[in-house]
């Protein structure tokens, strides 16, 4: 199956400091790819590069972002605006970055629908109700008149998902969509995103620092560390036997993996982009580190087992 999205050798800088190194990602239609890693690894910058909403100080030096055969990096802002919220929808960590506090839910949905479709207000209203029903918003007639602040965090995320549905998004980028929510609500929102994938064939790029959450939903996993993809595999292979020492350390720090043991967290923190580290960026924290090998060159992402890639000299 052809990929709906392909990121090729994406390099992003803040001034002279590099935040993304030769990122390669491919998303198959109707699948969910999870991009995981600790905070600061470059997940959000990767996601924002796709819809070209990177900070003003960020600079994409090279790379391609091929969405349905076209390189979005060559698109003008006007073309991007057509794509955003239409073919490609973003579910951010904080729903208020997508909702306008000054307009009711109904008005925002109708506006979004009419921006992307040539329909009357009545048809848009009907569509709005339909998608609110799909995302299980109770008491829809009333909720249409609510302002965002009158809804809980989970309900607001449902509204944003409804907007993506209303505009027939083909790709949903969910950047830590449940991080701000209570644990019980987290599962409901993830179940809803998963249902949308299965029901409508929407492709999902799920960004998360939470491997336990990812293990329940993702079809493919790519692990990021310090601006590099260090491991990628189909989810079943990845969770059965992670190869890269960073992934192993992440998995070992999961409570479900180690119910009786004392949790082992990874010592230290990822480096900042200003920090210069020769060789493998993970070496200061790595159990398998070999001096003279790991600190000389950057390990390349290589296929170690069928469809299972790791960027490590040792593993």
Ligand X SMILES: Nc1ncnc2c1ncn2[C@@H]1O[C@H](COP(=O)(O)OP(=O)(O)O)[C@@H](O)[C@H]1O
Binding residues for ligand SF4 (CB under 6 A): 245, 280, 282-283, 286, 288-289, 294, 299, 312-315
Contact flag: residue 19 with ligand X (CB under 6 A): yes
Binders of Mg ion among residues 30 to 49 (CB under 5 A) are 43-44
How are the residues of the chain apportioned to helix, strand and coil, as percentages rounded to the nearest 5?
35, 25, 40
Binders of ligand X among residues 257 to 286 (CB under 6 A) are 272-273
Contact flag: residue 42 with ligand X (CB under 6 A): yes
Residue 91 interacts with, from ligand SF4, Mg ion, ligand X, none (CB under 5-8 Å by kind): none
39-47, 66-74, 85-93, 98-106 -> range binding ligand X (CB under 6 A): 39-47
107: tokens are 């008005």
* Residue with the two structure tokens 């989970």: 154
Residue 283 interacts with, from ligand SF4, Mg ion, ligand X, none (CB under 5-8 Å by kind): ligand SF4
Identity of the residue, 83 or 207, whose beta carbon is nearer to Mg ion in the bound complex = 207
Identity of the residue, 21 or 288, whose beta carbon is nearer to ligand SF4 in the bound complex = 288
Residue from 55, 138, 255, 292 touching ligand X (CB under 6 A): that is 55
Q: How far is the CB of 224 from ligand SF4 (least distance, A)?
A: 13
Tell me the C-alpha distance between 12 and 21, whole Å. Answer: 7
Q: How many residues make contact with Mg ion (CB under 5 A)? A: 2
User: What CA–CA distances, in Å, run from 314 to 171, 201, 256?
Assistant: 36, 39, 27
Residue closest to 132 by CA, chosen among 157, 151, 154, 158:
158
Tell me the C-alpha distance between 244 and 233, whole Å. Answer: 11
Identity of the residue, 43 or 129, whose beta carbon is nearer to ligand X in the bound complex = 43
CA dihedral 161, 162, 168, 171 (to 10 degrees): 0
Identity of the residue, 163 or 211, whose beta carbon is nearer to ligand SF4 in the bound complex = 211
Residue from 14, 217, 239, 289 touching ligand X (CB under 6 A): that is 14
- Residues 6 or more apart in contact with residue 142 via CB below 8 angstroms: none
Identity of the residue, 190 or 301, whose beta carbon is nearer to ligand SF4 in the bound complex = 301
Residue closest to 224 by CA, chosen among 295, 315, 311, 294:
311
Cβ atoms < 10 Å from Cβ of 180 = 17
Residue 55 interacts with, from ligand X, ligand SF4, Mg ion, none (CB under 5-8 Å by kind): ligand X
Contact flag: residue 208 with Mg ion (CB under 5 A): no
273: tokens are 């982009």
CB 268 within 8 A of CB 284: yes
Residue 288 interacts with, from ligand X, ligand SF4, Mg ion, none (CB under 5-8 Å by kind): ligand SF4
Q: How far is the CB of 25 from ligand SF4 (least distance, A)?
A: 20
Give the strands of the sheet with 58-67, arranged side by side: 17-27, 5-14, 58-67, 70-71
Q: How far is the CB of 210 from Mg ion (least distance, A)?
A: 12
DSSP 266: P
Tell me the C-alpha distance between 200 and 165, whole Å. Answer: 9
Which residues contact ligand X by CB under 6 A? 14, 19, 37, 39-45, 55, 57, 272-273
């Amino acid at each position: 199956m052809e990929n709906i999205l392909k990121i090729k050798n994406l390099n992003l800088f803040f001034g002279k400091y590099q935040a993304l190194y030769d990122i390669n990602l491919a998303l198959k239609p109707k699948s969910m790819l999870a991009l995981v890693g600790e905070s600061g690894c470059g997940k959000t910058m990767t996601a924002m590069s796709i819809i070209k909403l990177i900070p003003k100080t960020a600079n994409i030096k090279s790379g391609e972002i091929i969405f349905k055969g076209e390189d979005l990096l060559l698109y003008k802002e006007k073309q991007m605006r057509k794509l955003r919220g239409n073919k490609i929808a973003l579910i951010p960590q904080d729903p208020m970055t997508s909702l306008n506090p000054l307009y009711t839910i109904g008005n925002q949905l109708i506006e979004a629908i009419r921006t992307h479709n040539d329909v009357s207000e009545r048809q848009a209203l009907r569509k709005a109700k339909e998608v609110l029903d799909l995302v299980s918003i109770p008491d829809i007639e009333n909720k249409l008149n609510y302002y965002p602040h009158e809804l809980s965090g989970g309900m607001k995320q449902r509204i944003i998902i409804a907007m993506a549905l209303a505009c027939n998004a083909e790709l949903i980028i969910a950047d830590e969509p449940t991080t701000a929510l209570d644990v019980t609500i987290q599962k409901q929102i993830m179940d809803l995103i998963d249902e949308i994938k299965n029901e409508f064939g929407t492709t999902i790029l799920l960004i998360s620092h939470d491997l336990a959450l990812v293990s329940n939903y993702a079809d493919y996993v790519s692990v990021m560390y310090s601006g590099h993809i260090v491991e990628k595999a189909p989810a079943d292979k990845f969770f059965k036997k992670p190869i890269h020492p960073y992934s192993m350390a992440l998995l070992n720090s999961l409570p479900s993996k180690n119910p009786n043991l004392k949790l082992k967290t990874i010592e230290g923190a990822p480096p900042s982009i200003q920090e210069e580290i020769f060789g493998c960026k993970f070496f200061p924290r790595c159990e398998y580190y070999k001096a003279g090998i790991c600190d000389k060159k950057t390990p390349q992402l290589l296929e170690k087992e069928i469809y299972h890639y790791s960027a490590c000299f040792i593993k």
